[in-house]
Amino acid sequence: NQKILTGKEAQIQFQAQLARFLVDRRFKHVLLGASFYRLIFRGTSQQVIEAKQEIASFFPDSKMTITVDQLAFLAREAINEVEIGMRSADNSFRLGNRVTALKRLQETFFLGEHISALHAFDDDKRALLFQLKRDMKEARDLIIDKSYGDAEELITEIKINAKDFEARRVEAGIRKAKQASDSALLAATQYRNLGQADKAEAAFREAAAIWPDNPRLHEFQFQGTQLVDKFVQGRNLFDQLHARKAYREIQAKALEFGVALSEDSDRSSKLKEVVKRMSELDIYLTQAEAAVKINNPYAAWEILLKAEDVDPDDVQLNRNKASLAAQVAPFVAELQKAAQHEATGQYPSSLQYFLAAQEIYPASQVSNDGIQRVSAALLEKLSNGL
């Protein structure tokens, strides 16, 4: 009985190992193992595999019954698919259809990375296909970054190396973006010549947003003798406002400063940081206004608390807080008392105040965070006391 049980266990373990080989895409191992299985366990290769737990873990969505012969069949078919895929990749490469060859190579690798047919593929061809993949990714990134000039140059190279590269739609999109930027810049020039500075700035902003690397932007910036004086004045004004932390004023003149500081990398970096921070702050203010409109001043207050992390001295932020203060006074008072007691280690009373604040505004994230934080501190304190 012991020998029979041991033999059955060995059979199940052998079956499970064959399934593991299949899932690991080691198809040659499956075929070799299946041959040994037929020799060792004669007459059982077409029986349903009894390693049900292992099979279920490898084929969780399959309701079919699996036999060793079926495992071998699947492995053999996978090897055939890999070999067909590699022949297709090689033929596509030979015909100059390198994008197709790259797709076939990737598909084949996913199916059978351990098959010799895959590794027999010429190293030079493989290197060229991988370079093509990197070039296409770089071209996509350049387009996302709106670096259309560099993208066009790279796309031209890709077209030379891969004649099946679908470049027409990409090139059409780039041409459309560049033409839109040039049109907006032309409008900016016309507005400036007419003395309509506000419209000129708006058109220039549009042109720069569409194509930041448009070389004509630089030409526009340096046209006219008045622009030189504007650069100097802009730098001086920027330094004054930045020293006073007058970020709202900097944001309002962001386009003017962008022109004036275009050749100053240090100040340009500071300007970008200010614009980014103020944009983040304005998002919070907009969210708070939306909360007020639906009669939820408490949610608006908590959003404004997040905005304080960006710029606590912002005039608009403090004005909005002041307008809400009367409506949320009891709620804020409970939070302030909770924070004070938490800071002095009075966790029970702090927890009580946080709970009181939550009772006023059940959806309060600040109250919930405080309750979690103070509760953890209180439990730690009690455990240490024990």
CA nearest neighbour of 190 among 204, 177, 209, 178 = 204
Note the pLDDT of residue 61. Answer: 58
10 Å Cβ neighbour count for 21?
21
What is the pLDDT confidence band of residue 45, given thresholds at 50, 70 and 90? low
Mean of the per-residue pLDDT values of the chain: 83
Question: What is the arithmetic mean of pLDDT over 312-337?
Answer: 90
DSSP alpha helix (H) spans, 194-314: 197-210, 215-221, 226-243, 247-252, 254-260, 265-293, 297-308
Backbone angles phi, psi at 349, to 5 degrees: -70, -35
Angle value at C-alpha 157, between 156 and 159, nearest 5 degrees: 65
Domain boundaries, the chain: 2-115, 122-223
Question: What is the arithmetic mean of pLDDT over 60-88?
Answer: 78
Note the pLDDT of residue 226. Answer: 55
Residue 76, burial from CB neighbour count under 10 angstroms (0-12, 13-18, 19+): middle
Identify which has the larger pLDDT, 50 or 267: 267
CA 198 to chain centre: 36
Decide if pLDDT at 129 tops 60. yes
Most confident of 22-31, 222-231, 320-329: 320-329
pLDDT exceeding 90 applies to what percent of the chain? 17
The answer to whether residues 26 and 79 touch, using CB atoms and an 8 Å cutoff, is: no
Lookup: tokens for 255: 């386009």
CA nearest neighbour of 99 among 174, 171, 158 = 158
Distance in angstroms (rounded) separating the CA atoms of residues 341 and 68:
70
Note the pLDDT of residue 188. Answer: 87
The Cα-based distances of 119 to 109, 112, 114 in angstroms read 9, 10, 8
pLDDT in tens, 272-299: 998 999 999 999 999 999 999 999 999 9
Decide if pLDDT at 224 tops 60. no
Question: What is the arithmetic mean of pLDDT over 335-364?
Answer: 91
Decide if pLDDT at 303 tops 80. yes
What is the pLDDT confidence band of residue 62, given thresholds at 50, 70 and 90? low
Question: What is the arithmetic mean of pLDDT over 164-175?
Answer: 87
pLDDT in tens, 1-33: 445 546 677 777 787 888 888 877 788 888 888
pLDDT in tens, 186-219: 898 888 777 677 888 888 889 888 888 888 888 8
Query: Would you list the DSSP string of 324-355?
Result: HHHHHHHHHHHHHHHHHHHHTT-HHHHHHHHH
Distance in angstroms (rounded) separating the CA atoms of residues 91 and 85:
10
Most confident of 23-32, 101-110, 113-122, 324-333: 324-333
Mean pLDDT is lowest, of 5-9, 35-39, 141-145, 280-284, for 5-9
10 Å Cβ neighbour count for 75?
24
Query: Would you list the DSSP string of 7-61?
Result: HHHHHHHHHHHHHHHHHTT-HHHHHHHHHHHHHHSTT-TTSBPS-HHHHHHHSTT
Rounded CA Rg of the chain? 34
The answer to whether residues 232 and 256 touch, using CB atoms and an 8 Å cutoff, is: no
